[in-house]
Amino acid sequence: MNSNIIKSIDIIPNNNNNNNNSVSTVNTNSSVINNNNNNNYNNNSISNGNNERIKVFIVHGHNNIVREKVSKFLFEMGFEPILLFEKPNNGQTIIEKLEKEISNCKFGIVIMSPDNKAFTKKDSNSDYVEIAYPRLNVVFEFGYLIGKFGRSNVIYLSVPYNGKSQNYDLPSDLLGYVWINYTEDLKELENEINFGNYKKL
């Protein structure tokens, strides 16, 4: 994406809850675009040596509101967010498409949201209890990004469940991974990016 041409972006979520694969409308304009709250966006791009925005791969589940908010936030910070479903298929398998798009990115953000529910018990004498967990493709892509970029270049953004962050079931291999809490103002995510090395990749 040429940051000298596209100066701002306004992502309009598709509110049709019956279609989780629906593509949101993206409006670009050479001038500053106001959102519904009439706030101006800061569109100073963070570029690599070729004057291209640094690309960030976003892993997400079915929480479309959080997905669009994070994507929009990253663009405002100067990055180019990459969402797999927005890219053309070109006859590729899903894993081929995933590998191709991730190969063009410098770091990743994994949005862990409790999209699925199940019942489990700690041992044979315990009662079943309800748990929530992210979609399995999110967990798989989380591991793929760690292998591709290294742990230091993968941000784990946890969406609260029942009022608590990371209050859902994950593979034990990921339980020691320090996460960033999702909040409406995305302040923790902003701090992680600003004080990390993500702008210098």
The DSSP bridge partners found for residue 9 are: 28
pTM, entire model? 0.72
Confidence of residue 105 (pLDDT cuts 50, 70, 90): very high
Top-confidence residue, 201 or 100: 100
Cβ–Cβ < 8 Å for 161, 167:
yes
pLDDT of 41 above 70: no
Q: Which of 150, 77, 165 minimizes the C-alpha distance to 114?
A: 165
pLDDT of 16 above 50: no
Residue 3 has which token pair?
A: 């940051």
Domain ranges (residues) in the chain: 55-195
What confidence score (pLDDT) does residue 44 get? 60
What confidence score (pLDDT) does residue 198 get? 85
**pLDDT > 70: what percent of the chain?**
73
- Give the integer Cα–Cα distance in Å for 106 and 141: 15
Lowest mean pLDDT of 72-76, 110-114, 139-143, 176-180, name the range.
Answer: 176-180
Enclosing H/E stretch for 58: strand 55-59
The fold adopted by the segment(s) 55-195 is Rossmann fold (3.40.50)
- Give the integer Cα–Cα distance in Å for 186 and 198: 16
Cβ–Cβ < 8 Å for 58, 102:
no
Residue 24: half-sphere exposure toward Cβ, Cα within 13 Å: 21
The sign one gets for the Cα dihedral 123, 128, 133, 139 is positive
| Average pLDDT of span 90-101 | 96
